[in-house]
Structure 1
Amino acid sequence: MTVTERFAERGIDARRIERDDGVELIADLGPETDASAEIVDGTVIVVTDDDQYDIDLDADGRALINNGILTVEVNE
């Protein structure tokens, strides 16, 4: 199951965007969601009020959350 499918399963709108220099995952966790994201040993760990999501990265990347929008950028 893909990351976007796992988010969709929980009612979270997510999409994957292919870029010339990598891939971007954007997920709307909701503006009222208290969430954090960290990268540890090649895995993005996203913790929200109710859930935890682990996203394995195949390359270097970064993750940030702004106003409930999770953005994960992976450079190829």
Structure 2
Amino acid sequence: MKVPNSLKNVERDDAVIRTFEYDDGSVIAVDFGNAAADLEMDVLGSTAIIVADGDQFEFELPPEASDVSAKNGVLTIAE
């Protein structure tokens, strides 16, 4: 699964994006840092809306995404 282009351009210095490949799928993890521990997320159709530390990000989910979650400042997109 590829990281969406609009998510690659997260304008936070402390955001870290990682992709993990497994035999049965892949996971994209975006750590928005300690300041974004209260990350809020909403999914409307194929668009994810993330609010982290007062900043809002919108991006299209990859077509193969089957699970999107947010916890402790980390956004996880799984296939």
Structure 2 counterpart of 1:27, which letter? V
CA drift of 1:29 comes to 1.1
RMSD: 2.3
CA drift of 1:26 comes to 0.5
Contact 2:17 2:31 in 1 (8 A): yes
Q: TM-score, normalised by structure 2?
A: 0.68
Between the aligned partners of 2:50 and 2:41, the Cα distance in structure 1 is: 4
Structure 1 residue aligned with 2:17: 14
The structure-2 alpha-carbon separation of the partners of 1:63 and 1:20, relative to structure 1 and needing over 3 Å to count, comes to same
Gaps of 5+ in 2: none
Gaps of 5+ in 1: none
The structure-2 alpha-carbon separation of the partners of 1:4 and 1:43, relative to structure 1 and needing over 3 Å to count, comes to closer
Higher relative contact order, structure no. (Cα contacts within 8 Å, ≥ 6 residues apart): 2
Give the paired residue count.
Answer: 73
